[in-house]
Amino acid sequence: MDKTRKFLLKRQAVFTSILAVILAFLVVGVLLLFSGRNPVEAFGYFIRGAFGDLFNFSNTMSRVVPLLIAAIAFIIGAKSSVFNVGIEGQLLLGALASAVVGWAFKLPKAIHLPLTLLAGTLAGGLYALIPAWLKVYRKVNEILSTIMLNYPAFFFNHYVVLNVTPLEGVIPATPFIQETAKFSTLIAGTRLHAGVIVAGLVVVFAYFLLQKTSLGYEMRAVGLNREAARFHGIPVEKRMMFSFFLSGCLAGLAGAVEMAGVHYRYLDQFSPGYGYDSITVAMVGLLNPFGAIFSATLFGALKTGILDMAVYTEIPRQLVTLINGIVVLFISAKSVIQDKFRQIVTGKKQISLQEEIE
Amino acid sequence: MELSFLDIIKNVFSLSLGYATIRICISIVFAAMGEMITERSGVLNLGTEGIMLMGAFSGAVGAHFTGSPWIGLLIAGVVGMLIGLIFAFVAITVKSDQAIAGLAVYLLGVGLSGYLLQIFFKHGGNTPRVETLPIIHFKFLENIPVMNALFNDQSVLMIPALLLPVILYIVFYRTPWGTWLRAAGENPKALAVVGKNPIVIRYVAVLAGSLLAGIGGAYLSISQTSLFSERMVNGRGFIALSAVIFGNVKPGGVFAAAMFFSFMDALQYVLQTVIPDQYFPREVFMALPYIITLLILAGFIKQSKGPADITNPYEKESR
């Protein structure tokens, strides 16, 4: 076998993921054609909207931040076979908690900003303990429970915004947070804020936790084979509870970063579904914290690009959710793509175990 | 206006609460019965909500362009089965993780119905008003007080919704099809030994389930209301899934569970109108059905026993 083939086979998971995304986009292109829209023109607007100038680029980057943190939240859970689909609800609660702390206290920045972020983080984590307990001790499927728990979170926030915190103006929102609770802007005149650094730290933290600590090793062991993990004396229930809690914490942090860096107050519908997108981002990134950087950039660009595109063309913004669905479908069917990929690379129908190891 | 506690109780527990329960349950019963068939065959379809959304959307679109809600209903069923076919291919043939495939179908349903809504009707978050399915009125019920208030002047889809559990009970336990279906979910290898193909049976079960979910969704847009609005299914698909778990994947149990959840939803609506907002926040009532559903799942799941082979892909030759 020559070098390229070896390289392609060694990295087959990465190429499969890329192929799945490309296939999904081809399907989306066909759908655009069928609904009478020009996919090439759409693509042009999309690229321009996402990366066209410094402002658009900074816009994309500011969307990558919550997507990346939320994707890491999903990854932390998924590594111990906890499918936290409730990131959206945890993110909303985290955002509200940090908006309230950021507004209600008057403290020096060195204390206020971390406190604001911590409030959001804890709110998300505590809310995630409900489905965690339901899954671990009552055997309730967490996909079901977390999706349902997204509704009460939204209603709760809606109530707080309308009835508890004072309303300034006509839009249902909390008051603006103090200057001391805000992230600094990194490039003047753009939306790029210091939350990017937080996102970077979260990626590094997740990598070290999962790969370099015994706690992370045990969490992954629970994800790979629960019974074997139990046999080796790992407290399976505790580890699952912990990874669910940590997942919720990061989801809450993603919401908090949005408050401190972009919106400066809790608006009822500030999140364009970051929680749901994060699942796609995590899966396309192969549940790898560094892989998530690439996929979060792709989907961050998708979000700004399509919103920009929706202004200039007759292509609705709902395309984003549709793309998510199709991408997840292809990712979930990736074993077929991987088989085809291997056949094409090696030119054989069957691949022996020996070759696979090489 | 001052309300005494007794007045509130009287206003809440009236016959109109029963009427509302039946009205709400139709959609959930269709979806839950469909999911029950699917799960009995050994496949878990978490994408019910997405299929219902596509059913609701295509039902309204069909009714709008043809002027006939019946054609809308037909289209909703077909579209439901098409989405089900995609799910079945990924879950059964590709043998991918059923939970993730279901999640994909959910996202696909939300995205596709929202996208096509904008493509077809440019502005706003909903379709124009459409013709609705007929309301049925039984003359003979007029003289029976409670029955009259509960069952008269409901949608025509109430009849199949109430008959479905009975029909499915007979199919499940009194026909060979039911035996094959249950065997596909309990022990597909044994089924293969007697010459039946578990894959075919699972495909049929997923398609039947998706058909019912599509109809359950269409009921919302062409009968309970008269238009489709974005995300209008609003978690009913997940409540239907919970009803299947709570009802032990058995026709009678699932029907009872669906009725119970519908009752909670009806109660929440009535409470919102009866108790003024200044006494009690309406958001609490709106969150109530989800919270109660979860509480019940937490309390009852331990006794619940689904099919033995659920979510396991069927492999022809054992390794």
| Nearest CB partner across the interface for A85, out of B103, B117, B299 | B103
On whether any CB of chain A is under 8 Å from the CB of B47, the answer is no
Q: Are residues A3 and A80 in the same domain?
A: no
pLDDT, averaged across chain A = 89
CB contact under 8 A, B100 and A331: yes
Please tell me the predicted confidence (pLDDT) of residue A5: 81
The answer to whether residue A216 sits within a structural domain is: yes
Alpha-carbon gap: A216 to the closest alpha carbon of chain B (Å)? 24
Closest by CA to B290, choosing from B218, B241, B230, is B241
CB contact under 8 A, A148 and B106: no
Please tell me the predicted confidence (pLDDT) of residue A201: 97
- What would the pLDDT profile of A190-201 be if each residue is shown by its tens digit? 778 899 999 999
Q: Over range A289-300, report the average pLDDT.
A: 93
Please tell me the predicted confidence (pLDDT) of residue B301: 60
The answer to whether residue A56 sits within a structural domain is: no
Whether residue A351 has pLDDT greater than 60:
no
The answer to whether residue A44 sits within a structural domain is: no
Cβ neighbours of B109 in A, within 8 Å: 325
| Nearest CB partner across the interface for B281, out of A144, A152, A159 | A159
Contacts of B228 (CB under 8 A, 6+ apart): B56, B57, B59, B60, B61, B113, B117, B126, B127, B221
First-last CA distance in chain A? 10
Q: Are residues A22 and A157 in the same domain?
A: no
Q: Are residues A197 and A297 in the same domain?
A: yes
Please tell me the predicted confidence (pLDDT) of residue B272: 83
Cβ neighbours of A138 in B, within 8 Å: 297-299, 301-302
- What would the pLDDT profile of A101-154 be if each residue is shown by its tens digit? 999 999 999 999 999 999 999 999 999 999 999 999 988 888 889 988 999 999
Mean pLDDT lowest for which of A277-281, B12-16, B218-222?
B12-16
CB contact under 8 A, A149 and B290: yes
Cβ neighbours of A328 in B, within 8 Å: 100, 103-104, 107-108
Whether residue A57 has pLDDT greater than 60:
yes
- What would the pLDDT profile of B115-141 be if each residue is shown by its tens digit? 999 989 877 688 999 999 999 998 888
- What would the pLDDT profile of A18-46 be if each residue is shown by its tens digit? 988 999 999 999 988 988 888 888 888 88
Q: Are residues A205 and A158 in the same domain?
A: yes
Please tell me the predicted confidence (pLDDT) of residue B313: 85
Please tell me the predicted confidence (pLDDT) of residue A348: 64
CB contact under 8 A, B108 and A283: no
Measured CA distances, A128 to A247, A248, B71 (Å): 8, 5, 44
Host domain of residue A172? 65-314
Q: Are residues A283 and A337 in the same domain?
A: no
The answer to whether residue A57 sits within a structural domain is: no
Beta bridge partners of A173: A267
> Domain ends where: A280, A299, A314?
A314
On whether any CB of chain A is under 8 Å from the CB of B295, the answer is no
Whether residue B86 has pLDDT greater than 90:
yes
* Dihedral in degrees, nearest 10, Cα atoms B43, A146, A83, B37: 0
Residue type, B173: Y
Residue B195 and residue B176: Cα distance in Å, rounded? 13
Residue type, B85: L
Residue A134 and residue B298: Cα distance in Å, rounded? 6
| Nearest CB partner across the interface for A319, out of B109, B115, B290 | B115
CB contact under 8 A, B119 and A316: yes
Q: Over range A268-272, report the average pLDDT.
A: 85
- What would the pLDDT profile of B304-314 be if each residue is shown by its tens digit? 567 878 888 88
For residues A218-253, b (16+ Cβ closer than 10 Å) or e, as one string? bbbbbbeebeebeeeebebbebbbbbbbbbbbbbbb
The answer to whether residue A59 sits within a structural domain is: no
For residues A68-102, b (16+ Cβ closer than 10 Å) or e, as one string? bbbbbbbbbbbbbbbbbbbbbbbbbbbbbbbbbbb
Closest by CA to B300, choosing from A293, A218, A139, is A139
Q: Are residues A177 and A287 in the same domain?
A: yes
* Residue with token string 């269409």: B218
CATH number of the domain within which A174 lies: 1.10.3470
Q: Over range B208-219, report the average pLDDT.
A: 98
Cβ neighbours of B119 in A, within 8 Å: 35-36, 316
Beta bridge partners of A262: none
Q: Are residues A90 and A226 in the same domain?
A: yes
On whether any CB of chain B is under 8 Å from the CB of A155, the answer is yes
The answer to whether residue A354 sits within a structural domain is: yes
Interface of A with B in 159-188 (CB under 8 A): 159, 163
On whether any CB of chain B is under 8 Å from the CB of A33, the answer is no
Q: Over range A310-319, report the average pLDDT.
A: 82
Tokens representing B253 are 């149990």
> Domain ends where: A314, A332, A348?
A314
* Residue with token string 């008003």: B129
Q: What's the pTM value of the predicted model, to 2 decimals?
A: 0.88
Mean pLDDT lowest for which of A1-5, A40-44, A286-290?
A1-5
Whether residue B319 has pLDDT greater than 70:
no
Q: Over range B62-84, report the average pLDDT.
A: 97
- Number of structural domains (chain A) is 2
Q: Over range B224-232, report the average pLDDT.
A: 93
Range with the largest mean pLDDT of A48-52, A313-317, B33-37, B281-285: B33-37
The pLDDT confidence band at residue A358, using thresholds 50, 70 and 90, is: very low
Q: Are residues A127 and A257 in the same domain?
A: yes
Q: Are residues A175 and A144 in the same domain?
A: yes
Alpha helices in B13-132 (DSSP H): 15-40, 48-66, 69-88, 98-121
Q: Over range B4-26, report the average pLDDT.
A: 85
The answer to whether residue A321 sits within a structural domain is: yes
CB contact under 8 A, A283 and B50: no
Please tell me the predicted confidence (pLDDT) of residue A357: 44
Q: Over range B42-68, report the average pLDDT.
A: 96
On whether any CB of chain B is under 8 Å from the CB of A353, the answer is no
Residue A99 and residue A91: Cα distance in Å, rounded? 12
Mean pLDDT lowest for which of A64-68, A79-83, A170-174?
A170-174
B contact test, residue of A332, A337, A338, A339 with most B CBs within 10 A = A332
Range with the largest mean pLDDT of A304-318, A342-356, B165-179: B165-179
Alpha-carbon gap: B175 to the closest alpha carbon of chain A (Å)? 32
On whether any CB of chain B is under 8 Å from the CB of A82, the answer is no
Q: Are residues A289 and A325 in the same domain?
A: no
Closest by CA to A317, choosing from A41, A46, A51, is A46
Tally the residues of chain B: 319
Cβ neighbours of A324 in B, within 8 Å: 107, 111
The answer to whether residue A356 sits within a structural domain is: yes
Q: Are residues A173 and A196 in the same domain?
A: yes
On whether any CB of chain B is under 8 Å from the CB of A283, the answer is yes
Q: Are residues A309 and A278 in the same domain?
A: yes
- What would the pLDDT profile of A221-238 be if each residue is shown by its tens digit? 999 999 999 999 999 999
On whether any CB of chain A is under 8 Å from the CB of B235, the answer is yes
Please tell me the predicted confidence (pLDDT) of residue B302: 58
pLDDT, averaged across chain B = 90
Q: Please tell me which residue of chain B has the smallest CA distance to A328.
A: B104
